[in-house]
Structure 1
Amino acid sequence: MTHVQGRVWRGGEPQDDFDFDAISEYLAAGDTLLWCDICDPDHEVLARLADELELDAWAVEDAIAESERTKAVAYRTHTFFTVYGVMVKDPPPADQSDSLLDIHRISGFVLPRGLITVRLSRDFDIDAVSRRFDELGGQEFGVGALVHGLLDVVVDGHFTAVQALDDAIEAIEDDLFANNVRKGLQRRTFRLRKDLVELRRVVLPMREVVNSIQHRRLDVQHGSPELDSHYADLYDHVLRVSEWTDSLRDMITTVFETHLSLQDARLNAVMKKLTGWAAIIAVPTAITGFYGQNVLFPGIDTVGGFVTSTAIIVVLVIVLYWSFRRRDWL
C-alpha cells in the first residue's frame, strides 16, 4: 500500500501544512522548499505525479523497477538518481549462509525547489534522513541541502556496513589460526565474499552519483558556495568507502587462500606423522616376517634366538623413534 509523507519549509522555516495534492503549488512558490517521500508506490500514483511535475517517463519507470543500478541522470527540468541504503542486521543471522546486510533502494527526483524520494521498502529508516535535514540546518541553501542530507545518511550506512564486514573478516582470521578451527569457516568466508560483492555494486558507482548531483546542483541553483564544502566532504567519504571495500576484497581473498594453505599444511603434517609411524611399525614386521620363514636358520626353536630377535626389534624401533622425533617428524 502506498504511503506518502513529506515536509515543507518557507523561508527556511519548517511548516505543518504538507499536502500531497498541493505539490505543484509548493514548487511554484519562490520561497518554498519541499520534500515528499513515497513508499511502496503503485505506477498510477507516480504516473499522475510525473504528469503534474513533467518528470521523465523513463525515470519514473526506473524508480519502480525491480532492479536498477546506482546511477544519476540529468534531464532538462530535473535530475533523477538511484542509490542503495545498506543496513547491518541486528542481531546477526544465526545461519551462516544468510547475508549480514539488508540493502534497500531509494530513488529521487531533484527539482529546483523540491526533492521527491521513492522507496520500495519501508525497512529503510527514512526518519534518519528527516533528522539529518534538521541537523544540517541548511534548508535556506535550497534543495541541494536536502539531497546532501539524504546522501549523507546513505553513505553513513555504507560506512557501518563495511565496518561490520571488516570486523567479521577479522573474526575469521582469529579462527583461522586457532588450533581448533570452527566448522563452517569456508561457508562463512564465502558468505562474506558475496556480501562484499553486493556492497561494492552499490558503493563504487556512488562517486558518479555525487559528482553528477553536485554539478547539476550548481547548474540549477546558480551556485550555493556554502554547500560546496559539504559535498566535497561527502565525496571524500564515498572515496574512503570505495577504497575500504577494495582492501576488504583483498583481505577476504587472502583469508580464503590462507585457509586452503593451512589445510594443506595440516594434511602434510598428518601424512608425515603417519609415514613415520608406518616406518617404525615396518621394522618389527620385517624382522618377524623374516623369522617366520619355513626354513632352518640359526637360533630356531631356542630361547636365545627369541631374545636376539626381540632385542633387534626394540633397538631399531627406539633408534627410529628418536631419529624421527629429532627431525620433528613425530
Structure 2
Amino acid sequence: MTDTPAPNCSTITRLYEAGKVVAEGFDPHEIGDQLAEHPDAVLWLDLFDPDENDLRIVADEFGLHPLAVEDAVHDLQRPKLDRYPGHLFMNVYEVHVEAGAPQPAMRQTEISAFITERALITVRKSPSDVSRLIRRWDADAELAPAGGVGFLVYGLLDVVVDGQFAAARRLDEAMDRTEDDMLEEGGAPRSVRLYGFGLRKTLAALRRPVAPMAGLIADVMHSDSRLVDERLAPYYRDVDDHARRATETIDSARDRINHLLEADLNEQSTALNDVTRKLAAWAAIIAVPTALTGFFGQNVPYWGYGKFWGFLVSLALIVGTATGLYLYLKRRGWL
C-alpha cells in the first residue's frame, strides 16, 4: 500500500474513529495503511482541482467507476446521485450570494463526492472554505460512531444546504428593501429597475443548483447502501426540510419580483398615458386659436413691427419659451 502513488493536486485527509479524529494531514499514499490500522475508522479525502491522472490514482485505490470519475473531472454537472457497484457518486453546489448594489451576484463551487463503504472522497473544482465543513463534523461528533460514512455525508449536505438557504433568504431580504422603491409613483428609477432585473436573473441562477437538492437527499436516504440509519434519519430529514424551504423561498421571491416588475411597467404605462393626455389637452388649447387666426389670415403688427429691435425681441421670446418648455418637460421626466 505504501508504494501507491499519490495525487499531485492539493489534498486534505482526515480519519474518524468512534467520533474522534485519529489521524489527519497524512499523505494520500498512506491511506491504505491508515485504514488497515484502524479497521473501524472512516476516511475523508478532499482533492482540490484534480486532473484525470490524480483521479485515476484514487479510482484504482477505491475501485471507482470510470463514468463517475469522468463526471468528477468535467465541470458543470447537474446536482445528482448516481449508483455504481461498490459506491455512490454525488454532485452538489455550494453557493454564496452578494445582494448589494448595483447588481446582485452569485458565486458557486461545484463539489463532486464519491461515497464508499469507508470513505467520503470530495472533489472541489474551485476554491471554497472547507473549514465550515470541518467545524460541522466536529460539532456533531457524537453522531460519528453510529453513522460512519453517513455521518460525513450528512455534514457535507448540511453545510451545502444551509449555504443555499442563506443565499435564498439574502435575496428575499434584498427584495424587501427594493419593493418600496419599485412601487414609486410614475415608475421606479432606472437603477432600481435594473437591480430588479438583476435579482430575477440571480434567483433563476440560484434555483438551478437548489431545486434538485430535496430529491437528491431523498435518494441518499433511500439508497441501497444503507448510509442513513435510524439515528441519522432525523438529521437528514432536517436537511431535507431546509432544502425544500430554500426552493420555496426562491420560488416565492421569483413570483414577487415578476409581479413587481409587471407593476412597475403598468405604472410607467399609466404615467405615459397621463403625460399623453396632458400634451393632447395643451395641443388642443393651442390648436384652436391657431386655426382661427390662420383661417382669418390675422397677421397684425406687433411691438417693434418693421424694426430691427422688434425682430430681436420676437427671436428672444421664441428661444426663451422653447428653452423654458424643454426644461420643464425634462424636469417632469417627459423627455
TM category, shorter? 0.7 to 0.9
User: Matches of residues 68-83 of structure 1 in structure 2 within 5 Å?
Assistant: 68-83=77-92
Given that residues 214 and 243 in structure 2 are in contact (C-alpha distance below 8 angstroms), is that contact kept between their aligned partners in structure 1? yes
Q: Which SS does the other structure have where 2:43 is aligned?
A: strand
Partner of 1:238: 243
Answer yes or no: is 1:139 the counterpart of 2:147.
no
Counterpart position of 2:315 = none
Q: Which residue of 1 aligns with 2:95?
A: 86
> Of 86, 111, 119, which aligns to 1:106?
111
- For the residues of structure 1 that align with 2:58 and 2:156, how far apart are their CA atoms? 21
- Aligned-partner Cα distance in 2 for 1:280–1:203: 60
Q: Which amino acid aligns with 2:156?
A: L
Write the distance in 1 (CA, Å) between the matches of 2:162 and 2:238. Answer: 12
Give 2:297's aligned residue: 292
- Shift, 1:15, TM fit: 2.1
Secondary structure of residue in 2 paired with 1:226: coil
Counterpart contact for 1:8–1:32, Cα < 8 Å: yes
SS in 2 for 1:261: helix
Question: Aligned residue for 1:149?
Answer: 155
Distance in 2 (CA, whole Å) between partners of 1:289 and 1:88 is 66
Q: Aligned partners of 1:128 and 1:2: how far apart in 2?
A: 21
Question: In structure 1, what is the Cα distance between the partners aligned to 2:295 and 2:91?
Answer: 83
Q: Which residue of 2 is the match for residue 276 of structure 1?
A: 281
Q: Is 1:194 the counterpart of 2:198 in the alignment?
A: no
CA RMSD for the aligned pairs? 2.2
The alignment status of 1:204 with 2:211, answered yes or no, reads yes
Aligned partner of 2:317 in structure 1 is none
Could you say which residue in structure 2 is the equivalent of 1:31? 40
TM-score normalised by L of structure 2: 0.79
User: Partners in 1 of 2:168 and 2:290 — Cα distance?
Assistant: 60
Pair 1:167-2:173 in alignment: yes
**Residues 172-201 of structure 1 deviation map (CA, whole Å, 9 limit, x = unaligned):** 322212247322344323322221121111
Q: What are the residue-to-residue correspondences of 1:296-315 with 2, within 5 Å?
A: none
Deviation per residue, 1:66-93 (Å, 9 max, x gap): 2210100122211110000101238x3x
* Among 36, 42, 51, the residue aligned to 2:51: 42
Structure 1, gaps ≥5 residues long: 295-330
Which 10-residue stretch deviates more, 27-36 or 111-120?
A: 27-36
Does 2:20 match 1:21? no
Number of residue equivalences: 287
* Whole-angstrom CA distance in 2 between matches of 1:26 and 1:252: 53
Q: Within the alignment, does 1:128 sit opposite 2:132 as a pair? A: yes
Report Cα offsets for 1:5-27 as digits up to 9, x if no partner. Answer: 12112222212343311223344
Q: Unpaired runs of 5+ in structure 2?
A: 1-7, 300-335
8 Å CA contact retained: 1:133, 1:149? yes
Deviation, 1:291, is 4.7
- Conserved 8 A contact 1:109-1:116: yes
Percent identity at matched positions? 41
Q: d(CA) in 2 for partners of 1:33 and 1:225? A: 19
Give the Cα separation in 1 of the matches to 2:58 and 2:201.
38
Matching residue of 2:220: 213
1:49 partner amino acid: V
Distance, in Å, in 1 between the alignment partners of 2:217 and 2:34 is 26
d(CA) in 2 for partners of 1:19, 1:8: 12
Q: Secondary structure at the match of 1:35?
A: strand
In structure 1, distance between residues paired with 2:201 and 2:73? 25
Superposed displacement of residue 280, structure 1: 2.4
**SS at 2:283's partner residue?**
helix
CA contact (8 A) 1:26 1:34 kept: no
Q: Which amino acid aligns with 1:34?
A: L
Q: Secondary structure, in 3 states, of the residue corresponding to 2:11?
A: strand
Pairing 1:265–2:265 present: no
